[in-house]
Amino acid sequence: MRVVLGWSAPPYRRGVLRLLPALAALIVLVLTGCGDDQDRTASPGAAEDPLAAAGSQAQDAMAAEVSTVAPTLESAYRDAPYPRTVGEVVESLTGAGVTLAPGHEVGGYAYDPDAVEFVLCLQDADGAWASYDTAPMGVRDAGATGGCPSG
């Protein structure tokens, strides 16, 4: 009679059991690599350029303002002739109930009488700007410096 003192896996499972430590090590290696989404192109400890961030914030602010001002003006102009010049747009702001944020101004305007649509550009004192086109009803272009482009 044969006495078995310990458990032993059948011969066909011994190969699988020998692979378990390697498989566990592989899983640990894969999991330690997951979630490491750090940008390796930037040097460690490098901060974002504060001037670039400020320019982007100013550009975003201009885009947000022109996105509300232009549709408001378009609604106001439906009952009267559309302005033809930047000066006429500036004069129409108060009558349309529009007050620009401090330091912001109308920097450009182009009216298409055939389509009865316009492009309005607002800019701030530091040159951030955004233009809005009423044909597709959206921000057309924007920039952090240089003010509204001419033409």
What is the side-by-side strand order in the sheet with 104-112? Answer: 104-112, 117-124, 129-133, 138-143
Report if residue 2 sits inside a domain. no
Residue 150 is predicted with a pLDDT of 79
Residue 128 is predicted with a pLDDT of 93
Residue 122 near residue 106 (C-beta atoms within 8 A): yes
Residue 111 to residue 97: CA distance in whole angstroms: 20
Residue 40 is predicted with a pLDDT of 44
Burial track 90-107 (b if 16+ CB lie within 10 A, e otherwise): eebbeebebeeeeebbbb
Q: Domain with 129 in it: what CATH number?
A: 3.30.1300
- Work out how many domains the chain is built from and give that number: 1
Residue 48 is predicted with a pLDDT of 47
Residue 79 to residue 72: CA distance in whole angstroms: 12
Report if residue 18 sits inside a domain. no
Residue 31 is predicted with a pLDDT of 52
Report if residue 74 sits inside a domain. yes
Report if residue 133 sits inside a domain. yes
Q: Which residue has the tokens 């182009």?
A: 110
Got the DSSP string for 55-99?
A: HHHHHHHHHHHHHHHHHHHHHHHTTSPPP-SHHHHHHHHHHTT--
CA distances in angstroms from 35 to 6, 27, 31, 41, listed in the order given: 43, 14, 8, 17
Report if residue 49 sits inside a domain. no
Q: Print the domain residue range for 64.
A: 54-143
| pTM of the entire predicted model | 0.64
Could you report how far apart the first and last alpha carbons of the chain are, in Å? 103
Residue 3 is predicted with a pLDDT of 55
Residue 91 near residue 77 (C-beta atoms within 8 A): no
Q: What is the mean pLDDT of the chain?
A: 78
- Average pLDDT per block of 10 residues along the chain, 151 residues long: 56 56 54 51 46 69 93 90 94 93 95 94 94 92 90 54
Task: Dump pLDDT digits (tens) for 41-79.
Answer: 444 544 444 444 555 888 899 999 999 999 999 999 988
Report if residue 132 sits inside a domain. yes
Report if residue 45 sits inside a domain. no
Residue 22 is predicted with a pLDDT of 56
